[in-house]
Structure 1
Amino acid sequence: MKVQSYLSFEGRCDEAIAFYKKALGAEVVQLMRYSDAPAGGPAGNPDAGCAGGMPGPDKVMHSVVRVGDTELMLSDGSCSGHAEFKGIMLSLTAHSDADARQWFDALADGGQVIQPLMPTFFTSNFGMLSDRFGVGWLMVVAPPAA
């Protein structure tokens, strides 16, 4: 079994992909736009389209980006313009304090720091933030191998 995160950016998916490429070195593995869907909705069924109507053809219907060893799925969703990422955070484990600082600062650009990156009793650096899209992130440095 595999559990993956699927984030709906409600119309800002292209912007999010570009941001994560720059901030984290994310790589686009797959990208499908609504214009790539067959005519008449999924499987040719016009009644099987998106709730509330079909987003613009240039919007992202589905994408997969790889961040390190993890794949995240991203979409424009229904393009409501109001993405909400409540009650969930993505945890990013760095192998060094330098990597943690670089990624933390990059993700915090345009976002909000919840807890500054700092040493704790359980790791050399830990911090929390909400990025410019409202996605919550936990940053932790992996403890040294025993």
Structure 2
Amino acid sequence: MTKLNTYLNFPGNAEEAFNFYKSVFGGEFFMLQRYKDGPKTDGCGSAPPELAEKILHVSLPIGDNMLMASDALPPMCPPVTVGSNVSLSLHPESEAEGRRLFDALSAGGTVQMPYQPMFWGAIFGMCSDRFGVQWMVNYELPKA
């Protein structure tokens, strides 16, 4: 069954926010990756040095769910606008189901990132549906 999690974008204070959420909900970060830990080259280019310590991805388990986030900072991302800084993140059980979901949700909407292989070992895409809701589809490839 596909899982649904919440993904937040912050204007540079994701670490502060997630340390606060960790104090509220308890637990430990499942993952904390900084821009300096990301790929040196990709389709968007490398992160500039001033973003090195900012959060590329963080995730905090809350019950059976995951709260996830990043610092979405120019030039890597468009500026964060409060109200549009939340995405629903789908985690399907198969690549085909991920493709089906991505194609259906993006029909009549806008594709921000095509559903494609990514450096973290997943097939991933981002889109807004025809109602303006932002979606991420992330199928984790089986470990070899």
TM-score (norm 1): 0.46
Higher Cα Rg, which structure: 1
Which structure is higher in strand share?
2
TM-score (norm 2): 0.47
